[in-house]
């Protein structure tokens, strides 16, 4: 493989890995903040138990999210130095602002939240988790703004002296229309991820408690204790059926209902923002959307392809098997009869407009086609959880059958896969560009500002880049296994009864008091 290919694989692997963890952090921080707020306002200690239980899951995830994020800040300069030189004037600003306005906020206040139980006044401690939630969401805004600029460069003019774009309108950069639709889409995806995880954990625990309660009752009837399933979870050990049902009704049910409604809300949000994104993309990155549909020839009243076969990553032998007539035109601009340009026509246009004959401007059609469909399909996992969960919890019910508890566990990876698929589509759909020429705003000289991926890479030898690719992949892989092990252990352990009691805000003079939290 060439250095460009190795570098692309490296950036892809490290970014996708980072973004397995990021959505859970972005979505879970506000959910935990809400849980703590409910406890603060109502004094209901079940919400404190939930806060602490999901807080542990959040912190295990936060650590690896931070660790994998550090790499990204440096990777631009390390592997893509030509790109960095070219875009520094505009791309560096959101990155620096992200650190200055968001990273400091979240890292400082997560420390205060973690160690501040029983040391900070409750109101201040609650403010800490809200500031963390604001910080993680703000950081997403800045980095999505930076990414959106690569997809749709605005707020710049050509600087002939330096031979690269110069920023001339910062407001335009951070209010890029691509950012304004991509950011809510990303945030809704993150909320969907976190709320699906919370709902699944809640429903699985309810199914577990329901099953255990029925087994204990059965054992009492038969006089045979051996049919009671083993458990090491403190909230189950020695608990009577009544206690287990009480836990379901007072802890898991409210938490799950809350999460399930967030799933519904963010699902609707994803639908709306996804539609807005698609319309913008048809105008500004027509090639990406043509590739997503494997639409090779320009069509009026184009149909949406549900299934196609025979695919290489080019237009040679694509056969659409199932299609929805006129649907693609509708997606493009809400008009069933509009004309959608195909890959072949766009290819000719680009060669001419950019005066680059022979350059292939189409992305890998196979990956763009299927990642787009995978994103939508995986999102249905959350729909299953949401409708199933709300059905079983209707009208104050809090018994969940065992089979449903197992089914929702299988849905656990789906929002993560949907997020990854969406980003793979967005990023691989802009190939071969690293800075896509701005097709929509034809005034001025927007087509001047663009960069092909192969022109952005650093001039390293391939053994060097192989070293870092293999190094990061192995380390990330190993840490991923540990992360999964820890999360699994803590979910199965369940909430601790000790966590139901609020820690006292001790007097400040007590020098020898035990810390309420220590590493």
Partner 1 sequence: MSLENFWFLVIAVLFTMYFVLEGFDFGVGMLMSFLGRHSEPDGDKRRRVLLNTIGPVWDGNEVWLLTGGGALFAAFGGWYATMFSAFYLPLFLILIGLIVRVVAIEWRGKINDVRWRRWCDVGIGLGSWIPAILWGVAFANVVRGLPIDADHQYTGGFFNLLNPYALLGGATTLLAFLTHGAVFVALKTSGQMRDDAQTFAARLAIPTAVVAAAFLIWTQLAYGEAWTWAIVVIAAVAAVGMVVATAARREGWAFVATCIAIAGTIAMLFGSLFPDVLPSTTDAAYDLTVANTSSSHYTLVIMTWAAAIMTPVVIAYQGYSYWIFRKRLSVDQIPPSIGLPLQSTRK
Closest CB to partner 1 among residues 268, 474: 474
Query: Per rule CB under 8 A, is residue 134 in the interface with partner 1?
Result: no
User: Which region, judged by CB under 8 A, interacts with partner 1, from 165-173, 292-300, 357-365, 427-435?
Assistant: 165-173
Binding-site size for partner 1 (CB under 8 A) equals 82
> Do 453 and 434 meet the contact criterion of CB atoms below 8 Å apart?
yes
Helix axes 462-493, 3-42, angle to 10 degrees: 20
Residue among 37, 108, 323, 349 that touches partner 1 (CB under 8 A): 108
Non-local CB neighbours of 95 within 8 Å, separated by 6+ positions: 73, 142, 143, 146
Q: In 57-70, which positions are buried (b, 16+ CB within 10 angstroms) versus exposed (e)?
A: bbebbbebbbebbe
Query: Per rule CB under 8 A, is residue 502 in the interface with partner 1?
Result: no
> Do 31 and 262 meet the contact criterion of CB atoms below 8 Å apart?
yes
Residues 417-446 that bind partner 1 (CB under 8 A): none
Non-local CB neighbours of 192 within 8 Å, separated by 6+ positions: 27, 263, 266, 267, 270, 379, 382, 415, 418
Residue among 13, 16, 34, 101 that touches partner 1 (CB under 8 A): 101
Look at strands 339-340 and 433-435 and give their pairing: unpaired
Closest CA to 331 of 287, 369, 294, 293: 293
User: Which region, judged by CB under 8 A, interacts with partner 1, from 63-71, 203-211, 359-367, 432-440?
Assistant: 63-71
| CA-derived radius of gyration, the chain | 26
Residue among 33, 50, 87, 435 that touches partner 1 (CB under 8 A): 87
Tokens of 5: 């290919």
Query: Per rule CB under 8 A, is residue 119 in the interface with partner 1?
Result: yes
SS3 for 279-301 is: HHHHHHCHHHHHHHCCCCCCEEC
Residue among 63, 257, 407, 417 that touches partner 1 (CB under 8 A): 63
Query: Per rule CB under 8 A, is residue 7 in the interface with partner 1?
Result: no
Closest CA to 33 of 119, 135, 108: 135
What's the closest the beta carbon of residue 19 comes to partner 1, in angstroms? Answer: 16
Residues 224-253 that bind partner 1 (CB under 8 A): 230-232, 237
Query: Per rule CB under 8 A, is residue 481 in the interface with partner 1?
Result: no
Closest CB to partner 1 among residues 313, 496: 496
What's the closest the beta carbon of residue 44 comes to partner 1, in angstroms? Answer: 23
Query: Per rule CB under 8 A, is residue 462 in the interface with partner 1?
Result: no
Residues 264-283 that bind partner 1 (CB under 8 A): none
Where residue 115 falls (left for φ over 0; alpha for ψ -120 to 50; beta otherwise) is: alpha
Closest CB to partner 1 among residues 99, 407: 99
Closest CB to partner 1 among residues 32, 64: 64
Closest CB to partner 1 among residues 64, 263: 64
Q: What's the rounded Cα separation, in Å, for the pair 424 and 188? A: 17
**317, HSE (Cβ side, Cα atoms, 13 Å):** 4
Closest CB to partner 1 among residues 432, 503: 503
Residue among 1, 70, 222, 227 that touches partner 1 (CB under 8 A): 70
Residue among 111, 401, 413, 444 that touches partner 1 (CB under 8 A): 111
Residues 285-304 that bind partner 1 (CB under 8 A): none
Residue among 13, 34, 88, 249 that touches partner 1 (CB under 8 A): 88
Q: Can you spell out the DSSP letters for 461-497? A: -HHHHHHHHHHHHHHHHHHHHHHHHHHHHHHHH---G
Residues 301-320 that bind partner 1 (CB under 8 A): none
Binding-site string for partner 1 from residue 326 to residue 365, where x marks contact by CB under 8 A and - marks none: ----------------------------------------
Query: Per rule CB under 8 A, is residue 98 in the interface with partner 1?
Result: yes
Residue among 13, 120, 249, 276 that touches partner 1 (CB under 8 A): 120
Residue among 1, 2, 42, 100 that touches partner 1 (CB under 8 A): 100
> Do 393 and 257 meet the contact criterion of CB atoms below 8 Å apart?
yes
Q: What is the DSSP letter of 190?
A: H
């Amino acid at each position: 493989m060439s250095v460009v290919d190795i570098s692309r694989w490296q950036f892809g692997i490290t970014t996708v890995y980072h973004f397995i963890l990021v959505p859970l952090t972005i979505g879970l921080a506000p959910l935990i903040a809400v849980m703590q707020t409910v406890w603060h306002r109502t004094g209901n200690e079940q919400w404190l138990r939930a806060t602490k239980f999901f807080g542990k899951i959040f912190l295990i995830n936060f650590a690896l999210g931070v660790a994998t994020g550090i790499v990204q800040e440096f990777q631009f300069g390390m592997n893509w130095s030509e790109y960095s030189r070219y875009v520094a004037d505009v791309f560096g600003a959101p990155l620096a602002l992200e650190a200055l306005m968001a990273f400091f906020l979240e890292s400082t206040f997560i420390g205060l939240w973690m160690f501040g139980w029983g040391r900070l006044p409750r109101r201040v401690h609650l403010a800490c988790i809200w500031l963390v939630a604001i910080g993680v969401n703000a950081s997403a805004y800045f980095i999505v703004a930076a990414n959106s600029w690569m997809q749709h460069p605005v707020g710049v003019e050509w600087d002939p002296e330096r031979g690269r774009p110069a920023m001339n309108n910062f407001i335009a950069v951070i209010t890029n229309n691509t950012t304004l639709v991509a950011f809510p889409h990303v945030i809704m995806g993150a909320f969907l991820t976190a709320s699906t995880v919370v709902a699944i954990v809640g429903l699985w625990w309810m199914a577990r408690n329901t099953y255990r309660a029925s087994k204990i009752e059965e054992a009492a009837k038969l006089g045979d204790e051996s049919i009671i399933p083993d458990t090491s979870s403190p909230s189950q050990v020695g608990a009577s059926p009544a206690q287990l049902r009480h836990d379901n009704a007072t802890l898991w049910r409210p938490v799950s209902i809350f999460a399930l409604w967030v799933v519904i809300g963010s699902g609707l949000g994803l639908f709306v923002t996804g539609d807005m994104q698609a319309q913008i993309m048809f105008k500004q990155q027509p090639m990406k959307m043509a590739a997503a549909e494997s639409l090779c020839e320009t069509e009026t009243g184009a149909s949406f392809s549900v299934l196609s076969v025979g695919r290489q990553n080019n237009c040679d032998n694509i056969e659409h098997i199932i299609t929805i007539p006129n649907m693609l035109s509708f997606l493009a601009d809400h008009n069933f009869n509009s004309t959608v340009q195909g890959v072949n026509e766009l290819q000719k246009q680009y060669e001419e407009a950019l005066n680059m004959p022979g350059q292939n401007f189409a992305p890998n059609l196979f990956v763009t086609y299927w990642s787009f469909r995978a994103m939508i399909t995986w999102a249905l996992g959350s729909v299953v959880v949401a409708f199933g969960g709300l059905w079983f919890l209707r009208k104050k019910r809090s018994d969940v059958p065992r089979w449903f508890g197992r089914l929702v566990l299988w849905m656990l990876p789906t929002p993560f896969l949907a997020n990854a698929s969406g980003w793979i589509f967005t990023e691989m759909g802009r190939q071969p560009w690293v800075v896509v020429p701005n097709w929509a705003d034809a005034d001025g000289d927007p087509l001047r500002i663009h960069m092909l991926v192969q022109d952005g890479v650093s001039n390293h030898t391939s053994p060097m880049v192989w070293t870092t690719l293999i190094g990061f992949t192995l380390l990330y892989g190993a840490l991923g296994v540990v992360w999964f092990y820890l999360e699994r252990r803590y979910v199965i352990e369940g909430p601790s009864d000790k966590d139901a009691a609020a820690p006292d805000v001790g007097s400040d003079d007590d020098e020898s008091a035990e810390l309420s939290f220590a590493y």
